Each structure stands twice: as C-alpha cells, then as structure tokens.
Structure 1
C-alpha cells in the first residue's frame, strides 16, 4: 500500500504529540540499585482531536480513514503545533519566499547533511546563514525520512556549518548531502487501532461530534 500524506485540509482542533522511548531497566535483587538502558526504537505517538465537522469535511476524514484499511495503512504526518522552523530560512545565498498564512516557506536551496554521523544524536549540517541562531530547542526537522526534535538552540559558525543535537537517535544514518526538511517535517505513522467511528447530530446540518484519532510512528 502506498504511503500518503495526511490531508492538509483536515486541521485538528487539538494535537497531543509525544515520544515513546524504548528502555530496559534492571533492579539489583541485592541492594535495589537500578540501571536503565536506552534501546533503539523510540517512536512518535500523537492524538489528533478533530473539531465538530460539516458533512463535506466529515466525508473527507471518513474517506481518508477508510482508505487506510485500519492499522495496515501508512501516512505521513507533521506536528501541527510546530509546522515550520521559526528561525531557519534555508541555505545561504538562496531566495526564500515566506508564506505566513500557511506557516510555511519555500527555498531554492536547503541546509543539508555535511558529514557522516559518528553520534546518532548529533547531526552535522551546512549551508546555513553564517553566525546565526538557526534552530530553537523544541523545533522539528526531517532528515532521511525520519522526524527529529532539536534538543538545544543551534547557532551556525562563520562558514554556515552547524551541529544539531536531536532526539530520538537516528535509526539509520542519513546520506551526506541529504536535505533537511524544515517546512512541515513528517513522520510515517499508522493508526493505533483498526476501528473508528464518527457520531453525527440529528438535524438539517448533520454536524458531526468531535473525533479523536490515535496514531503511532511505524517503519520497516
């Protein structure tokens, strides 16, 4: 089944977005000291609360959810609360067109991965504006098809290079030259259950009840 994008026309009224880490804990039977190991496989989880919808919008949502075939379907979803980097504006010496209505921008060039990863929580990048704070802690980026959160403010050096601390760790190192996605960075998600339902109020307008959709990151 093809991976599709979450429809841009379906805007949640409330989004809860978080990370499910993958750890293993050992507690000593002798003195109760505890050791915890972080394992690969942390994944994003989200809950999308859709507002009461008119029949046309409700039809779009129902059609999209039905097309997924329950948990079998895969779709690309961005964190609606932080759809675009507030500071990073693309590669230096490239034109940038800002779109404040849609909270996005388009750049002719893009910051990219500049070297092989030696630390899977630290991303080396280049083509930023020189000596500038380019990313804020808590913003999202997408690289190599993986969604990451920036864990500290990032300032570029005089040559436009920047080391970006991210979490969770990369599952696979992105290629040198891979572009950073700052405008609606996405993760591949699946529904958390095979079932959904939409309640509809009686009356001529047929307005639906609010709908909560739980999703979780998925990969192969």
Structure 2
C-alpha cells in the first residue's frame, strides 16, 4: 500500500458511499421491499488543476507507482481531520461486524467523537453517525456507516486522529491535460478490499 504524496491536494474532491442494497418491487402494487447487504464502499473523484511541473511530476510518478488498478493507496479525507486527542481508543471485544463498535481507552466522561467524524478500523474508513460520549471507565459505543466488513480483533486500534481509506484507481487508463505552464487531470477511485 502506497502513502498519498504529502502536500499534494486536489482542488476538488467528489466523495461518497455506494451501498449494496437491492430493491424488490411488486408488479401489482409497486410496493417496495429493500434488502441491504454488506459490501458498501467509498468512491471519489480527485480533480487537479494548475499543477506546476514539480507537483505534476509528483502526481504522475505516484500514478506510475500504482500500476493502474493493481496498486492501493491511503487516501485521507482532508476536510475532516481532528486536532485534539481523546485517548488511545481500541475495539472492546471481538466478533462484531455490524454498524456498532464497542470501544475502550478513551478519555473518561467526555464527548470523544462527533457525528460526521471519520475513524479507521482494520484499514476500513467509517463515518461516525452519532455523537459519542465515553463512560467514567473510558468505554464508548460508536455507531458507524457503512457497517464493518469483517470483525476486528479485541484491542484493534481505532484511528481517529488521522483516518484514511484504502483506495485504488477505478480504471487503468489515466490521462493528464498538459498546457504550457500548468497541468491537470482527474483520478477516479474506489475503496479497495
């Protein structure tokens, strides 16, 4: 897995989730039943423009290191980084693969996460969907979306200060627009698992 080039930031990032739901529609009444399955993933489109030669070189060599869709990289959601520490959070217990994460190791009796924060567990990026307040023992239950794909081990680290998604390029074809002094382009990506 390759680290994203430090200091190289897109001017625009389209970011979102793709859920794995199926709709069953009655041919008689048009009533619907929705069935949800695990396997939701993040996707994004990173748009670059006005890259001078040094940044263009960093971006194209990064793409070269990926070898198209074969390589994976850590992508950090830049707008939702966290400044303060709230303990050394870990998964509390094992065997859980759902939208609820029991945790321990938080600073006691404070709000440790806010709705909309991102966390990473087992290389899976998750969004916190409700505010989280720790108990006096430093435990907390975290509601997340999408659901965990695989159960984390007891004691697995919860990365909340610098969360990331493991991504891959959505296509093997990558093209840059090069002008006299600047360059630009778009990288379409999806979560790798």
TM-score band by shorter chain is over 0.9
Task: State the partner residue of 1:215.
Answer: 189
Contiguous gaps of at least 5 residues in structure 2: none
Question: Larger strand proportion, structure 1 or 2?
Answer: 2
- SS across alignment from 1:194: coil
The TM-score with structure 2 as length reference comes to 0.94
- Per-residue CA deviation, residues 199-218 of structure 1 (Å, 9 max, x unaligned), is 2222xxx221x322110011
Query: Does 2:153 align with 1:175?
Result: yes
Task: State the partner residue of 2:125.
Answer: 147
- SS across alignment from 1:81: helix
The counterpart of 2:94, out of the listed 93, 109, 116, is 116
Contact 1:85/1:135 (8 A) holds in 2: no
Contact 1:138/1:151 (8 A) holds in 2: yes
Structure 1 segments of 4+ aligned residues over 2 angstroms from their partners:
84-87, 116-119
Task: State the partner residue of 1:36.
Answer: 34
Query: Does 2:9 align with 1:16?
Result: no
Structure 2: how far apart are the matches of 1:86 and 1:171? 28
The counterpart of 2:46, out of the listed 35, 45, 48, is 48
Contiguous gaps of at least 5 residues in structure 1: 92-109
Structure 1: how far apart are the matches of 2:99 and 2:61? 38
The TM-score with structure 1 as length reference comes to 0.83
Query: Does 2:40 align with 1:62?
Result: no
- Per-residue CA deviation, residues 115-141 of structure 1 (Å, 9 max, x unaligned), is 225461110111111111110111100
Task: State the partner residue of 1:96.
Answer: none
Count of matched residue positions in the alignment of Structure 1 and Structure 2: 193
The counterpart of 2:110, out of the listed 127, 132, 135, is 132
Contact 2:97/2:148 (8 A) holds in 1: no
Task: State the partner residue of 2:70.
Answer: 72
CA deviation after TM superposition for structure 1 residue 36, in Å: 0.5
CA deviation after TM superposition for structure 1 residue 9, in Å: 2.4
Task: State the partner residue of 1:99.
Answer: none
- Per-residue CA deviation, residues 2-59 of structure 1 (Å, 9 max, x unaligned), is x111112211112221000011110112222100111111000011122311111100
